[in-house]
Amino acid sequence: MRWPCLNIGEKEGATLASLYAGIIFGIFWIPLRALDEAGFHGPWAAMVYSALPALLVSPIYWLRRDELRMANWKPLMGGVLGGVAMALYSLSFLYTEVMRAVLLFYMMPIWGFMLGRIVLNDPITPPRWLAIGFGFLGMGIILGTEAGLPLPKNAGDWMALGSGITFAFAAIMMLVDEKVSVWTHGANFFAVSALISGIAGFLMIGSIGAPDWGALGSVLVWLIPVALLVTVPGGFATLYGPTKLNPGVVSLLFMLEIGVAAITATILTDEPFGARHALGVLLITCAGLFEPARDFLRVRVQKTARTLPDS
């Protein structure tokens, strides 16, 4: 689909959607922390956070029933795997340090570009390797070196690493198979994420206890607006980018999450934000915007060349 209101094409729209998704992921921790403080601990918070959007978008299953009847299981796996990745990423923070979870998840650009090379024969060009390097360098500067080399050491590490790999597969499947719309993928994304988080909650109920369902009413007062204005649009933006862009490029755009998370954590908590963090945010932003900016300049040059009169 084109974006006539913005006078941009599908690829540019997918780029903007992926950047927006990175911003949403950057503030993802805020409602999760609020849910945890309200009595929904660990995976229960992730379940409620995904279950409400899943309920709000559930009419999509009826509106897209013809699409669901015609599609077999394979075209649907993009959104399903996206939901698995979302749940694993949320759960990884329960079993490992935040820095390690983020570092391992955001190895995703490597998996994305590798899959793009294997499936699409899309080369990993030197500028793409440079963008990956900028992104990793920015992460290292922001997160510091306390976590050491991010090699998996525990269950949370493997969840974070598996989440990045899973989403890379989800992205490539959504890109190569256009039989299922982003709307259906989005409904599956929220539903599967809520289901897996809920199963994890029941399996861990002996250690974390049952959620405080009595607090649900007071939580919904603010969670419904957040779901309608932030979570649902962010979820569909997360899945729209992969339907149009190389999964490695999408992964780099998503890395904006790290800078946004660092800034919001500084504003809302006592975590510091100094020159080191600012430099890291700048490097990550450059990594994410490098290829879109190059494509934009290339298109502008081509348009200018076409409008010049022949000499």
Number of CB atoms found within 10 A of residue 229's CB: 10
The number of residues in the chain equals: 311
Q: Which residue has the higher pLDDT, 310 or 262?
A: 262
pLDDT at 85: 94
Residue 124: pLDDT over 90: no
- pLDDT higher than threshold 80 for residue 151: no
Average pLDDT over residues 168-184: 88
Q: What is the pTM of this model?
A: 0.83
Lowest-confidence segment of 118-122, 133-137, 198-202 by average pLDDT: 133-137
- Mean local confidence (pLDDT), 150-158: 78
Q: What is the DSSP string of the chain?
A: --BTTTTB-HHHHHHHHHHHHHHHHHTTHHHHHHHHHTT--THHHHHHHHHHHHHHHTHHHHHTHHHHHH--HHHHHHHHHHHHHHHHHHHHHHHS-HHHHHHHHTTHHHHHHHHHHHHH-----HHHHHHHHHHHHHHHHHH-STT-S----SHHHHHHHHHHHHHHHHHHHHHH--SS-HHHHHHHHHHHHHHHHHHHHHHTHHHH----GGGHHHHHHHHHHHIIIIIHHHHHHHHHGGGTS-HHHHHHHHTHHHHHHHHHHHHHSS----HHHHHHHHHHHHHHHHHHHHHHHHHHHHHHHHHSPP-
Mean pLDDT of the chain: 82
Give the tens place of pLDDT for each residue, 6-21: 556 777 788 889 889 9
